[in-house]
A and B are shown apart, each in its own frame.
Chain A
Amino acid sequence: MDLSDSDLALVAALAEGLPLVSHPYRAVGAQLGLDEAEVIARIQAMRDGGIIRRFGIIVRHHELGFKANAMAVWAIPDGVVSEVGRVLGDAPEVTLCYRRPPRLPDWPYNLFCMVHGRDRGAVEESIQALVRRFDLGAYPHAVLFSTRRFKQTGARYGRPIPRAAAAE
C-alpha cells in the first residue's frame, strides 16, 4: 500500500492522539482540509493495508503497575537469527522483538527483546524461562534493566514531507 501526501499529513496529525471531543475524526480532518468521512476512510484503509498495525488506546506499562522492564539481547549467528527471532517474537513473555546490527567491539548483540513485569524478579524469571525453553544458553547474552525513564511519548513524525524526499 502506498501512502499519499494527505495520508502522511494524517499520520502526523494522529501522532498526537485522537482529541477527546464528540467528533474527533472531524476535528483531525479540520486541520487537514479533509472531512470526517474521508478521515475515517483513510484510517480504515491504512489499517486494512497494514500501515497501521494497531489503532486504539495506548497504555503506559509503568503507570499500570508493570514497574520493571528489561532489554534482553543475544548475539545469534546470521544464519539462524531470523528463525530465533520469530520464535522469541511469538513467546508470551516478549513485548517487542527486533534484529539490529551489532557494533563491534562495543556491542556484539543482534537480537533484542523487551520484557515487562511487575518487578525485577518477575522479569528475570521470564527471561530465564525463555533461555531454557528455546535453548539459548550457548549464545552471548546480556540483560539491560531500565533504571530511569527520562522520556516516553508517542513517535512524532513532524511535518510530513513528500514521498520522493522521504525515500531519499
Chain B
Amino acid sequence: MIERAQASAGALSDPQRHRSEAQVESGGAKGAEAPARRLRGYEIDALDRRLLNEFQQDFPLADRPYAVLGERLGLDEDAVMDRLARLSRGGTISRVGAVFRPHAVGGSTLAAMAVPEHRLDEVADLVNAFPEVNHNYQREHRLNLWFVVTAPSQARVAEVLAEISRRAGLRVLDLPLLEHFHIDLGFDLKWT
C-alpha cells in the first residue's frame, strides 16, 4: 500500500539520496516577527532572549561551553545551565544539538495519510508510538496526517511505513526528499 518514487527514479539512483533527509524540525525563518513573551507562567527576560537567539549557530566547541556562553552574557556557568534547563522544561528549547545536512546520515521521508476524522486520534497515537517518527501533524487537507520518519537506514524507514500502513489499514504516501533549497541559519526571533 505504499507508493514509491517512480517518476523520480533518476534522482533516487544517487546513493547519497538514500541516506537521509535528516530532520526538518526547526529550520530558520529568516525574518519572523516578534513573538509572545510569556511562556507557561514565567516571563522570559532579556538574557533568556539572548540565549535563545544568539547561540543557534556556532555553539562553542570548548571543554566548558556553558561557561563560554556565560562569559558572553555576564553569567556564571551554573546560571546558564539553570536557564537552559528552565527553557527546556518550558518547551521553548528542543535541545542543544546538531541539525544534520539532508542525506548526510541515515534515511528519512515525509509521509501522508488520509485518515477518517473519527479515527484520527487512534491513528495519530499509532504513528507516534514509533520512535522513528519525529514529527507528526494534523493538516487541513484530505491527506490530513503528515509525519516525518527518520531511521538509521532507508530500509528501516520503508519498514516503518509498511508497518504503519498495515496496522492502520490505510494507505501511506511516501514523499522522500529529492532536493533541498534552504540553508538553515536558525530561527531569527527578532525580539525587539
Contact = CB atoms under 8 A, between A and B. Distances in A.
Nearest to B94: A58
Question: Which residue among B137, B148, B154, B178 has the maximum number of chain A CB atoms within 10 Å of its CB?
Answer: B137
Q: What secondary structure prevails in chain A residues at the interface with B?
A: mixed
Nearest to A25: B63
Nearest to A24: B65
A167 B153 CA distance: 7
A44 to B, nearest CB: 5
A55 B137 CA distance: 25
B175 A100 contact: yes
A64 B35 contact: yes
B139 A63 contact: no
B36 A52 contact: no
Interface string A79-96: 000100110111011111
Contacts of A22: 64, 66-67, 77, 81
A144 B155 contact: no
Interface in A133-168: 142, 144-161, 165-168
A56 B133 contact: no
Contacts of B28: 95
Contacts of B151: 157-158
Interface in B2-22: 3, 5-8, 15, 18-19, 21-22
A122 B172 CA distance: 31
A8 interface: yes
Given A43-B61, A86-B181, A103 B132 contact: no
Question: Which residue among B51, B57, B114 has the maximum number of chain A CB atoms within 10 Å of its CB?
Answer: B57
A152 B25 contact: yes
Interface in A67-88: 71, 82, 85-86, 88
Nearest to A10: B98
A50 B132 CA distance: 24
A101 B146 contact: no
Contacts, number: 318
A122 B36 CA distance: 14
Contact of A61 (B95, B101, B173, B187): B187
A13 to B, nearest CB: 10
Contacts of B97: 14-18, 55, 58, 154
Contacts of A151: 127-128, 133-136, 147
Contacts of A102: 7
Contact of A101 (B8, B34, B148): B8
A86 to B, nearest CB: 5
B98 A55 contact: yes
A11 interface: yes
A135 B148 CA distance: 30
Contacts of B166: none
A23 B25 CA distance: 27
Interface string A5-42: 00010011011111011111110000000001000100
22 contacts: A18-B95, A23-B63, A24-B66, A53-B183, A54-B186, A56-B55, A57-B84, A59-B52, A59-B92, A59-B93, A61-B26, A61-B187, A65-B34, A88-B181, A103-B175, A147-B139, A148-B138, A151-B134, A154-B23, A155-B150, A156-B134, A161-B152
8 A-B pairs with the lowest CB-CB distances in the bound complex, closest first: A65-B35, A17-B95, A89-B181, A65-B36, A155-B23, A92-B31, A155-B150, A56-B59
